[in-house]
């Protein structure tokens, strides 16, 4: 009998292995995709692209049998050669080739549609997104999504350490918890179904099981407006925690999560931060301001009239961000006590003034990246609120059952991963930080 | 200005904190949901359920002002009391109460529909699933999904250590890569769209970017048959790796991933393994057998006639599992070289016999839990194969572009998380290990 034993004998090495060994004249095998070829007549530089960086190889013509014309950008190869220190090369070393083995070839007469080997492609967002399968091969572009991986890892590490349990909730659902018309419909074996706009009812359900839960997964919003800050499918970072004494505990938890994550990026994703020129924000403390107070502050400082005391226009959001940057040097601000009208049915009203709620948004550089708050946990109170909003409680039988049989005081939040990444990178369009963005006109690639 | 500083001053402690402190007469505060109340006339046992276990509290009547009738199962409370060793109590300690503060109440006259406080509820799967929001509160039931969290963590830990990059690919897609009719359709702003049956084309695309990638997320299959092993939405663990020398490298990687994960569970999820009575399988080595050979072995030993040499019936799959258990003591077996007819277009044919492919399934206790293999990486070969299958290559423009501009030899796999969990727990229905299962008749809860 043949067995799979899990013992791999890969001869090729990674960049980090070469660096750790000191780069001193040892012979190594390396694989990668041809990034650029520079023919210098007597010799040629063949730069390989690997997941963790570029490797400069030097081919001295005639040193072994090989025709440079047999490879081009996009060929994948395994090379063998001697490692030598070379300050001008990426990572400070080059490989002087002894052999090249071609592993695969692109279509030889196909011309790359984008200059992916350049540091900045100077291409429109539209073109980059339309050609994502290729534009992501650019070193700077791919660093964006590597960094995004790091953000998610940082969040998860933190949440595990705080005893949150990771859950996976269904994306095909029967109900529409967030309300509104922005929901994708589908037919499900003869029944009407929806794509989940958020894991809201499920994550609350699971607080009754694990006390603290989180999910990082796709959510779907059929928003018809094409803006620089909306996606129709995005990654939502959701957590929900039981046994809270106030909704402020949720903000405290988020602030710690962000602190932990930025420290984690500094430690583990320094390469991507450098490539992208990202300066991590200082968030030792985040200012906290009431919704109505924030409106007043902005109206006064920037001489704006308050049109509607119960709503926040995008421009006002930007100005609140600007205000707290100018006055307190903070990129972040927690805006609390949003009007009850503007929050979903499950939001807990402020007992001191029922026009407002025990809720918050986190603004980052003037844009909402998180919405959160305390939820109603009392069955009768929740039913009354739903009936007041004209909802049919029969549609929420399963959800209501958790309150019927007991739920601790709890609350949580949802954070948009692409928006947070966008603001961290100072991008102006959320499509820059969505791997394969979905918007009103875009279903491919 | 008020600030959020992330410094939480929670006074309540966790079970592990109490255990670490030695349980010796200190006064603690603990919160939790009332699990059971046993009234012994002079005193009462109030057992609290927390995310990490049960806590026995002893209320001596008259010791402080409190009426036992004001709480019931499902009430949430914060108690204060003295910790004392007590061998017969969960975790070996109890809390002798000094005070009880009620945090929230269920509907006081609502009767729990399930005996969730029992060790085994002895309830039908149908009832358990229909009442998931409540049945998951059972200590044994919730351990299943805690363990599932551990499996995912083990996978991710391993894949990061092997330099895989985590990706997030769209679930609303324009094409139907896996072929077949089992795809959910939806309308997307006037265009026809689908729910992704797998991240196949996207994960291959991202191999061109990061060399090795993985995604753990939902996939959607509109299968019309209601079986014990199918779900219409499930969690797929997908990885894809470039620069492979043979498809066997993928099996080696999977075997290592499973080894790592089982070791991780043993270390970090011992409590859940104990609750569920799970014995982790030994997978130092996994037998590997060709598809045609496996059919012969089973036909001979179990006296079955081979009806169709190019297909595998579910019963044959079970018998292959049985054969390798009986003959080699292994719960796992890799079946390789599946017939080309039965594999999707992107599968690489075996150059030695084009009727078969460089592909595999991993069977676990007689059920397929993984499908994988090497993919075609040459543009012209892929186009020829697609045309041979009557596919319209214009529908795959973006996908084909990655091959046009160069792709390394690569392959990967998809593993069904719920099926793996099911087999690990010796369950007979995959719904047991899906938190909120979706099947032909089930869209709620």
**Number of Cβ within a 10 Å radius of residue B196:** 26
DSSP secondary structure, A392-404, as one string: -GGGGHHHHHHHH
- Residue A280 pLDDT: 97
Is there a contact between A75 and A106 (Cβ–Cβ < 8 Å)?
A: yes
Helix and strand tally (H, E) in chain B?
Answer: 12, 19
Q: Which 3 state secondary structure label does DSSP give A64?
A: coil
**Structure confidence by residue, pLDDT tens digits, B292-321:** 999 999 999 999 988 888 888 888 999 999
Nearest to B106 among A220, A255, A404 (CB): A404
CB within 8 Å: B6 and A377: no
Contacts of A210 in chain B (CB under 8 A): 51, 142, 146
**Structure confidence by residue, pLDDT tens digits, A356-385:** 999 999 999 999 999 999 999 999 999 999
**Number of Cβ within a 10 Å radius of residue A219:** 23
Contacts of A445 in chain B (CB under 8 A): 205, 398-399
Is there a contact between A387 and A418 (Cβ–Cβ < 8 Å)?
A: no
Lowest-pLDDT range of A71-80, B19-28, B269-278: B19-28
Distance CA(A372)–CA(A361), nearest Å, equals 6
CB within 8 Å: A165 and B51: yes
Distance CA(B332)–CA(B362), nearest Å, equals 7
Distance between A269 CA and the closest CA of chain B, angstroms: 12
Residues comprising chain A, all counted: 445
Residues comprising chain B, all counted: 445
Chain B contacts in chain A segment 242-281 (CB below 8 A):
242-243, 248-249, 251-253, 255-256, 259
Lowest-pLDDT range of A5-9, A123-127, B71-75: A5-9
CB-based burial of residue B48 (10 Å sphere; 0-12 exposed, 13-18 middle, 19+ buried)? buried
Task: Check pLDDT > 80 for residue A176.
Answer: no
Q: How many CA atoms lie within 13 A of A197 on its CB side?
A: 16
**Structure confidence by residue, pLDDT tens digits, A9-38:** 789 999 999 999 888 889 999 999 999 999
- Residue B5 pLDDT: 85
Distance CA(A189)–CA(A167), nearest Å, equals 26
CB within 8 Å: A443 and B51: no
Distance between B253 CA and the closest CA of chain A, angstroms: 6
Average pLDDT, chain A: 95
User: Which residue in chain B has the smallest CA separation from A7?
Assistant: B252
Distance between A403 CA and the closest CA of chain B, angstroms: 6
Q: What angle do CA A28, A32, A36 make, to 5 degrees?
A: 110
State the complex-level ipTM.
0.97
Q: Regarding predicted confidence, which is higher, B21 or B434?
A: B434
Distance between B7 CA and the closest CA of chain A, angstroms: 7
**Structure confidence by residue, pLDDT tens digits, B134-184:** 999 999 999 999 999 999 999 999 999 999 999 999 999 998 766 677 999
CB within 8 Å: B3 and A408: no
Please check whether residue B416 touches A, CB under 8 A.
Answer: no
Band (A151; pLDDT cuts 50, 70, 90): very high
**Number of Cβ within a 10 Å radius of residue B26:** 12
- Residue A177 pLDDT: 67
Distance CA(A230)–CA(A418), nearest Å, equals 10
Q: How many CA atoms lie within 13 A of B212 on its CB side?
A: 17
CB within 8 Å: A169 and B12: no
Tokens representing residue A141 in the block: 């572009």
Q: What percent of chain A has pLDDT over 70?
A: 99
CB pairs under 8 A between A and B: 331
Distance between B196 CA and the closest CA of chain A, angstroms: 12
Distance CA(A231)–CA(B171), nearest Å, equals 13
SS3 percent helix, strand, coil of chain B, rounded to 5, is 35, 30, 40
Is there a contact between A388 and A346 (Cβ–Cβ < 8 Å)?
A: no
Distance CA(A57)–CA(A80), nearest Å, equals 10
* Letter string b/e over residues A257-293, b meaning 16 or more CB atoms within 10 A of that residue's CB: bbbbbbebbeebbeebbebbebeeeebebbbbbbbbe
Distance CA(B281)–CA(B262), nearest Å, equals 8
- List the single best residue of A406, A407, A418, A440 to mutate versus B (max B Cβ within 10 A): A406
Distance CA(B314)–CA(B300), nearest Å, equals 17
Place of tokens 């009208």: A341
Place of tokens 């949720």: A250
CB within 8 Å: A4 and B166: no
Band (A179; pLDDT cuts 50, 70, 90): low
Task: Check pLDDT > 90 for residue A152.
Answer: yes
Rounded mean pLDDT, B244-266: 97
**Structure confidence by residue, pLDDT tens digits, A284-330:** 999 999 999 999 999 999 999 888 888 888 889 999 999 999 999 99
- List the single best residue of A405, A418, A421, A436 to mutate versus B (max B Cβ within 10 A): A405
Task: Check pLDDT > 80 for residue B190.
Answer: yes
Q: How far is residue A68 from each of residues A37, A46, A117, measured CA to CA in Å?
A: 9, 9, 19
- List the single best residue of A10, A77, A130, A209 to mutate versus B (max B Cβ within 10 A): A209
Q: Which 3 state secondary structure label does DSSP give B87?
A: coil
Q: Where in chain B is the domain with CATH 2.40.50.140?
A: 15-104
- Residue B437 pLDDT: 98
Distance CA(B241)–CA(A134), nearest Å, equals 18
CATH number of this structure's domain A139-433: 3.30.930.10
Distance CA(A60)–CA(A40), nearest Å, equals 10
Contacts of A435 in chain B (CB under 8 A): 167-169
**Structure confidence by residue, pLDDT tens digits, A388-432:** 999 999 989 999 999 999 999 999 999 999 999 999 999 999 999
Nearest one of A416, A413, A417, A419 to A203, comparing CA atoms: A413
Distance CA(B180)–CA(A73), nearest Å, equals 36
**What are the phi and psi torsion angles at B332 (to 5°)?**
-110, 150
Q: How many CA atoms lie within 13 A of A236 on its CB side?
A: 28
Task: Check pLDDT > 70 for residue A437.
Answer: yes
- Residue A103 pLDDT: 98
Nearest one of A53, A145, A217 to A425, comparing CA atoms: A145
Distance CA(B372)–CA(B344), nearest Å, equals 11
Nearest one of A184, A148, A203 to A414, comparing CA atoms: A203
CB within 8 Å: B235 and A168: yes
- List the single best residue of A75, A168, A216, A217 to mutate versus B (max B Cβ within 10 A): A168
Verdict on whether the full-model pTM lies above 0.95: yes
DSSP state for residue A355 in the 8-state scheme: E
Nearest to A435 among B6, B167, B252 (CB): B167
Helix B291-301 and helix B314-328, axial crossing angle in degrees, nearest 10: 80
- Residue A178 pLDDT: 67
- Residue B379 pLDDT: 98
Contacts of A6 in chain B (CB under 8 A): 252, 255-256, 259, 285
Q: Where in chain B is the domain with CATH 3.30.930.10?
A: 139-433
Q: Which 3 state secondary structure label does DSSP give B405?
A: coil
The CATH class, in words, for B15-104 is mainly beta
Place of tokens 């797929």: B236
Distance CA(A390)–CA(A395), nearest Å, equals 12
- Residue B213 pLDDT: 98
- Residue A309 pLDDT: 84
Distance CA(B164)–CA(B207), nearest Å, equals 10
Helix A379-388 and helix A397-404, axial crossing angle in degrees, nearest 10: 150
Q: Regarding predicted confidence, which is higher, B286 or B342?
A: B286
Distance CA(A130)–CA(A128), nearest Å, equals 6
CB within 8 Å: A4 and B334: yes
Distance CA(A307)–CA(B183), nearest Å, equals 48
Contacts of B76 in chain A (CB under 8 A): 242-243, 406-409
Task: Check pLDDT > 80 for residue B266.
Answer: yes
Nearest one of B377, B348, B413 to A102, comparing CA atoms: B377
Contacts of B443 in chain A (CB under 8 A): 172-174, 188, 191, 193
In this structure, the dihedral spanned by the alpha carbons of residues A232, A238, A242 and A245, taken in order and rounded to 10 degrees, is: -90
- Residue B177 pLDDT: 67
Helix and strand tally (H, E) in chain A?
Answer: 12, 19
Is there a contact between A134 and A114 (Cβ–Cβ < 8 Å)?
A: yes
Tokens representing residue A3 in the block: 């067995």
Nearest one of B316, B371, B313 to B347, comparing CA atoms: B371
CB within 8 Å: B444 and A398: yes
Tokens representing residue B153 in the block: 């963590």
Band (B23; pLDDT cuts 50, 70, 90): confident
Contacts of B109 (CB under 8 A, 6+ apart): none
CB within 8 Å: B189 and A440: yes
CB-based burial of residue B44 (10 Å sphere; 0-12 exposed, 13-18 middle, 19+ buried)? middle
Distance CA(B244)–CA(B247), nearest Å, equals 7
Place of tokens 């063998």: A80
**Structure confidence by residue, pLDDT tens digits, B105-143:** 999 999 999 999 999 898 999 999 999 999 999 999 999
CB within 8 Å: A160 and B174: no
Average pLDDT, chain B: 95
Rounded mean pLDDT, B402-411: 98
Nearest to A166 among B149, B285, B287 (CB): B149
Tokens representing residue B226 in the block: 């209601």
CB within 8 Å: B435 and A167: yes
CB within 8 Å: A187 and B191: no
Rounded mean pLDDT, A178-194: 88
Distance between B59 CA and the closest CA of chain A, angstroms: 21
């Amino acid at each position: 009998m043949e067995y799979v034993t899990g013992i791999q004998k890969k001869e090729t090495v990674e960049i980090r292995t070469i660096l750790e060994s000191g780069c001193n004249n040892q012979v190594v095998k390396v694989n990668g995709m041809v990034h650029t070829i520079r023919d210098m007549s007597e010799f040629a530089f063949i730069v390989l692209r690997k997941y963790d960086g570029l490797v400069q190889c030097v081919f001295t013509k005639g040193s072994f049998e090989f025709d440079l014309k047999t490879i081009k950008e996009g060929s994948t190869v395994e090379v063998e050669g001697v490692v030598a220190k070379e300050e001008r090369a990426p990572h400070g070393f080059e490989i002087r080739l002894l052999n090249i083995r071609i592993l695969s070839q692109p279509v030889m007469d196909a011309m790359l549609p984008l200059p992916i080997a350049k540091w900045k492609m100077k291409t429109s967002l539209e073109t980059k997104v339309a050609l994502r399968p290729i534009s992501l091969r650019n070193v700077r572009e791919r660093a964006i999504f590597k960094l995004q991986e790091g953000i998610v890892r940082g969040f998860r590490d933190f949440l595990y350490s705080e005893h949150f349990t990771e859950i996976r909730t269904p994306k095909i659902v029967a109900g529409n918890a967030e309300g509104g018309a922005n929901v994708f419909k589908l037919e499900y074996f003869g029944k009407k179904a929806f794509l989940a706009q958020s894991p809201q009812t499920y994550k609350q359900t699971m607080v009754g099981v694990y006390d603290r839960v989180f999910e990082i997964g796709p959510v779907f919003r059929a928003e018809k407006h094409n803006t620089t800050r909306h996606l129709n499918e995005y990654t939502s970072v959701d957590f929900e925690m039981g046994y809270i004494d106030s909704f402020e505990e949720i903000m405290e938890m988020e602030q710690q999560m962000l602190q932990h994550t930025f420290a984690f990026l500094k430690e583990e994703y320094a390469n991507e931060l450098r490539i992208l020129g990202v300066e991590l924000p200082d968030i030792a403390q985040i200012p906290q301001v009431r919704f109505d107070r924030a409106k007043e502050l902005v109206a006064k400082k920037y001489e704006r009239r308050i049109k509607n005391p119960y709503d926040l226009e995008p421009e006002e959001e930007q100005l609140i961000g600007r205000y707290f940057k100018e006055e307190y040097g903070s990129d972040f601000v927690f805006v609390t006590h949003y009007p009850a009208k503007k929050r979903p049915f499950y939001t807990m009203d402020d007992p001191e003034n029922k026009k407002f709620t025990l809720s918050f948004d986190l603004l980052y550089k003037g844009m909402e990246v998180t919405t959160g708050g305390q939820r109603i946990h009392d069955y009768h109170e929740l039913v009354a609120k739903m009936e007041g909003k004209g909802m049919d409680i029969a549609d929420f039988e399963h959800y209501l059952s958790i309150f019927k049989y007991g739920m601790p005081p709890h609350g949580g939040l949802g954070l948009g991963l692409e928006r947070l990444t966008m603001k961290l990178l100072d991008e102006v369009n959320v499509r820059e930080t969505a791997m394969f963005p979905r918007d009103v006109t875009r279903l491919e690639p």
